[in-house]
Amino acid sequence: MTDPSDPQRRRWLLAGAGTAACLALPVSAMSLASPQTTLARVRSGRIAGTVEDGIHVFRGIPYGADTAARRWQAATREPAWRGVRDALDYGPSAPQRGGEGPGSEDCLRVNVWTPALRDGARRPILVYIHGGGFTTGSGSDPLYDGGALCRSGDVVVITLNHRLNAFGYLHLRDLGDASFAHAGNVGQLDLIQALEWVQQHADEFGGDAGNVTVFGQSGGGAKIATLMAMPAARGLFHRAWTMSGQQVTAAGPRAATQRAELFLGALNVAPSELARLRSLPMQALLDAQSVRDPSRVESSALYFGPVVDTVNLPRHPFWPDAPPQSAHIPMVIGNTRDETRAFLGNDPDNFALTWDTLPARLRTQHFVDLDPVVVVAEYRRLYPDYTPSEVFFAATTAGRSWRGAVEELEVRAAQGTNTWAYQLDWYPRTDEGARLRAFHTLDIPLVFGNTGVSGAKTGDGEDARAVAATMRDALLAFARNGDPNHAGMPTWTPYSMTARETMVFDATARLEHDPRGGERMLYRQAPFLQRGTQ
């Protein structure tokens, strides 16, 4: 029996009393009342959330125990609690450098939005996996708020946090004892544990355990691509929607071990002393990640990402073909037209390039080992009206990220007819929009229907809301039916090698065949290498 002196219990009783009182108030008085409290039961105890504009919201629910005691090991189940635990606030981010850091090793949390609880409605469940590569980010960004998707599509939306960077992907298997056997992929194993939690609690949150869509942008898409090749993820999700996030290859064990040795060197820890890593301060492990990665042309910190360890990840995600275990899973693969303006568009020098200075700038930012002179000449032939800066942004976009999307689309097309491609061309007609255009991450507030949320660079004008409705409804249709087609846009045909059908989301959506085909042919002159995995 619950202890009535428990402070969480007292908060729940007070909230319940407030809710009961609201029922007796007239509408005018109810509008001034505090948010309604809602109660759910999960495997480790009861949780109290809020009802926000008709949607039940639970934030910061643990799906695993504090990982500080199990560094570089699979997480254990979260401990049970007595009474009612508040699920009102987002949990801590994973340990990381940057704006969302330093975070906490007690970071395994999910956030849930649902129209109803325990009503047997079997709604589609959409699980969003955040970006930030494999290094930064969390599921707590306001742009990921699932309320609008729930209200538009009668679905359940879930976001989550998991271990990142060296905490999630430091490959120590070949340097340590058996306790480090899974170290290079524990960030992915966290995702699998979260998806298992989703399956277990689908009924409680009004969802369908047999209809789970994973969707994610940038690193989130790359994590999804990797899950599609992980045997332990089989059966945990049924559709996949990736946005500007590809993972054609993963790190091999040799390269991942070499990076681990550089990381240990920065910590002055010998391979024979790996046990020391488990007692070092979290901040020391974060600081050591600033060591320069030897595989990068530009100065960049150590890369950490999934490792082909032959057990958890027995093959590369999308090389030499698409993973057979996921052939039956419908998939959408999308990109934005001007990806790299998000990374390179804040440097005024990149808008002042000349034909003489462009080749040197491409050498450091292109990430494809093609002669920049050849690249520039071909872009000038394809797009004679482009300025040198427009060529720079187009070429870096094609060389950095879009190329990986094409690789995935081609091997999926060879496997079946259940893959759709999109390209986002629309951007807001503002001064900032003219500079950044359809940059990396612009599609996030559009698919979530969150153009009015603070931080959405789409703006909340009529044009932004119209594009958002088209993209959001495609995601909702895909989650419900495994097909993104809906009445608000032209027929979206699956991607094929013969026509390379691609839905272009612009002020008016349109289906194109092989958009940017000339650029695609240009980059076929060099083999694709997933950055950081060599």
Q: How far apart are CA 445 and CA 54, in angstroms?
A: 20
Average pLDDT over residues 253-272: 96
For residues 382 and 515, is the Cβ–Cβ distance under 8 A? Answer: no
Number of CB atoms found within 10 A of residue 181's CB? 18
The one-character DSSP state at 369 is -
Same domain for 215 and 132, yes or no, is yes
Pick the last residue of a domain from 271, 301, 329.
329
Residues 233 and 98 in one domain: yes
Report H helices in 124-279: 147-153, 165-169, 186-201, 219-227, 253-267
C-alpha–C-alpha distance, residues 409 and 78, integer Å = 38
For the chain, how many residues are written?
A: 534
Centre a 10 Å sphere on the Cβ of residue 524 and count the other Cβ atoms it contains: 11
Active site residue 162: no
Residues 483 and 401 in one domain: yes
> Are 289 and 351 members of one domain?
no
Instruction: Identify the pLDDT of residue 21.
Output: 33
Same domain, 232 and 362: no
pLDDT, position 486: 98
Residue 6 lies in a domain: no
Residue with tokens 């930012």: 365
pLDDT tens-digit profile of 478-529?
Answer: 999 999 999 999 999 999 999 999 999 999 999 999 999 999 999 999 988 8
- Choosing from 162, 366, 440, 486, the catalytic residue is 440
Residue 2 within any structural domain of the chain: no
Give the pLDDT of residue 297: 56
Do 309 and 356 lie in one domain? The reply is: no
Could you tell me if 340 and 391 are in contact, meaning their C-beta atoms sit under 8 angstroms apart?
no
**Domains: count for the chain:** 2
Phi, psi of 62 (to 5 degrees): -70, 135
Share of the chain above pLDDT 90, in %: 89
Lowest mean pLDDT across 16-20, 369-373, 427-431? 16-20
Is 534 part of a structural domain of the chain? no
Q: In this structure, is residue 517 part of a structural domain? A: yes
Q: Provide the residue type at 516 as one letter.
A: R
Instruction: Tell me, yes or no, whether 41 lies in a domain.
Output: no
Is residue 169 in a domain?
Answer: yes
Single out the residue in 329, 349, 374 at which a domain terminates. 329
The last residue of a domain, from among 311, 329, 347: 329
In a domain, 5, yes or no: no
Among 35-39, 332-336, 391-395, which stretch is predicted with the lowest mean pLDDT? 35-39
Same domain, 371 and 434: yes
Nearest Cα neighbor of 166 from 256, 59, 252 is: 256
13-53 residue pLDDT tens: 333 333 333 333 333 333 334 569 999 999 999 999 999 99
Q: Does the pLDDT of residue 225 top 60, yes or no?
A: yes
- Residue 218 annotated to the active site: yes
Shared-domain flag, residues 265 and 117: yes
- Catalytic residue flag (residue 140): no
Find the range with the poorest average confidence among 80-94, 323-337, 355-369, 485-499: 355-369
d(CA 246, CA 243): 8
Contact in structure between 468 and 451 (CB atoms under 8 Å):
yes
Q: Give the residue from 455, 423, 477, 507 showing the smallest Cα distance to 149.
A: 477
The rounded mean pLDDT for the chain is 92
Residues 398 and 466 in one domain: yes
- As a whole number of angstroms, the distance between CA 72 and CA 170 comes to 8
- And the tokens for 478? 């895909």
Q: State the catalytic residue, choosing from 138, 218, 389, 401.
A: 218
Same domain, 265 and 150: yes
Exposure class string for 204-235: b at 16+ Cβ within 10 A, else e:
bbbbbbebbbbbbbbbbbbbbbbbbbbebbee
Which one, of 101, 95, 43, lies nearest residue 66 by Cα?
A: 95
**Is 453 within a domain?**
yes
- Please check whether residues 239 and 367 belong to one and the same domain: no
pLDDT band at 534 (very low <50, low <70, confident <90, very high): confident
- For the domain that residue 466 is a member of, what is the CATH number? 3.40.50.1820
| Structural domain boundaries, residue 161 | 61-75+89-329
The active-site residue out of 105, 339, 378, 519 is 339
Least confident of 241-250, 288-297, 371-380, 468-477: 288-297
Q: For residues 113 and 250, state if they share a domain.
A: yes
